[in-house]
Structure 1
């Protein structure tokens, strides 16, 4: 802490959510992330334009590098893994933590092996409960977490709703797909109660 400005660093955290383990990413995740970043659904809705524009062999590294250092810069990027065998099933991230007081923005994706099992919704719920917990209990003490998704990404809407994130409205033209097409997005949020 310098000059009275709070540090943006967040202590890397591991969470258990039933048969899921939410843990910090490591360099050893690069191969599995690379496979995920070549999945058409992830590439379309969750990879971002920098990753989508990278050579397929480089996508895993391009996506993973900022997540390896995210905890030190106020981002909470969780690898969502099978607790029994460690298989990477997805990603759950909280970013813009406290950019607006007591708030953050969530994002997620699941691998094909994780789809249809409630992985994203359970991971989102677990990370949200952790983020809402007081710092004295190891949480972030947040009040509100929002997320958005393209209206064309119906699966993401179901994930948000299952995790208790209510639809608050539609943001016109807010999602830019890798093919350059703009989509309207739903804005969802959940608040601590």
Structure 2
């Protein structure tokens, strides 16, 4: 568990150190209207965004990215302030500016060929489980659903609102049920009602002659 968390932990420490260093260096200039405006806008976005993230979707990286522009601004201000104090420190900070690029390139390189592998996987699924007679049950966040949606038919999950024709049915090609649909779209549903809707959708698939394939969720 520590191995995937280690880079994240180091990143958070680096960001916190950058913020503290920027505040310390720029504090003497706190009366400058431009600097105060920048601080209010970007640090305000960070503070408000983190509160909303913790409330709504703390597990979603996209939500976290939305509040991170402050880091580039703080780093730029930190680099600019260091130029007036120590040329050596400025050179070190400028070199460190390339560290995220090097890290991201090395991490993204691990996923080269991912699109080709996904296309191959979708083709294998289509051969093994003919879409005309198969209904898929997913958690809802599996990456493969994006490929089936894009390549087969751009149809959303049933969500208790679909009546499907008897198997085999070529249209829509991608027929699927998402377990998370109720929690995302229907905040007034109870857990029992959500389970009832999912069961009704699965029962409909069986009754209409479909093979039901469920992910390892």
What interval of TM-score do these two structures reach, taking the shorter chain for normalisation? under 0.3
